[in-house]
Amino acid sequence: MYRWEITRAALEQRVFAIVRSDSYERVTATADTLLGAGITSLEISLTSPHALEAVSTLRRETDDDMVIGAGTVLDGASARAAVDAGARFLVSPSLDEEVIRTGHRYGLPVFPGIATPSEAVRAMELGADALKLFPASAYRPGWVRDVRAALPQAALLPTGGVTVENAPEWIAAGAVACGMGSALSAGDREAVSKRVTELLQRLADAAPATSRRERP
């Protein structure tokens, strides 16, 4: 798949899950629960033990409809390791040119972290495929609306503090997707499945009409 195709698939549901835990077993179990609940895109944070092994396992045991990426990718070495593990996209809390360059060298989209309009412009100049607004808890959805009034080409991904309750507000304000961690994955399989089903519908309803028409 081309980079733009992976980007589209990764953000298609308007939410991607972030999996971070204290063991390989918990990481893979959480990922399995989320995928079983209907989530099709998730990142495994490299802060988790044996995170790259988890990425490889999930890529091997899931079909191509599941888009498995690596998160908290801080430098070129980590980016290359994630590529080798089979990650299909890279996410970073910061803006690092080498992460973007490495991901693109091997055909992977990269979503670097930004926190200001200046960083957003710089990230786009470096070829970022989407922009992770981090931490979103320091902002309100109106920030996305205001920034996109001046930078309508900025594909913003609020992450960090996004909840089930406010995720639709971010989408309505113009975010292309939200990154969500424990707010999405807490509870047993039944609770997660119910939460995911309801959230996906709410995000679809919240999307601007033009965005809904553009979706296949």
Say how far apart CA 156 and CA 163 lie, in whole Å. Answer: 16
What is the distance between the alpha carbons of residues 124 and 74, in angstroms, rounded to a whole number? Answer: 18
Judge contact between 37 and 10, C-beta under 8 A: no
Residue 77: name the closest of 60, 98, 47, 58 by CA: 98
Residue type, 100: I
Q: Which of 5, 12, 53, 132 is catalytic?
A: 132
194 noted as active-site residue: no
How many helices (H) and strands (E) would you count in the chain? 11, 9
- Catalytic choice (5, 25, 43, 198): 43
Catalytic residue flag (residue 43) = yes
Q: What is the DSSP string of 40-101?
A: -EEEEETTSTTHHHHHHHHHHHS-TTSEEEEE---SHHHHHHHHHHT-S-EE-SS--HHHHH
Helix (H) or strand (E) holding 45: strand 41-45
What is the C-alpha to C-alpha distance for residues 209 and 197, in angstroms, rounded to an integer?
21
Query: What phi and psi values does residue 173 have, to the nearest 5 degrees?
Result: -80, -10
Query: Which sequence positions are flagged as catalytic?
Result: 43, 132
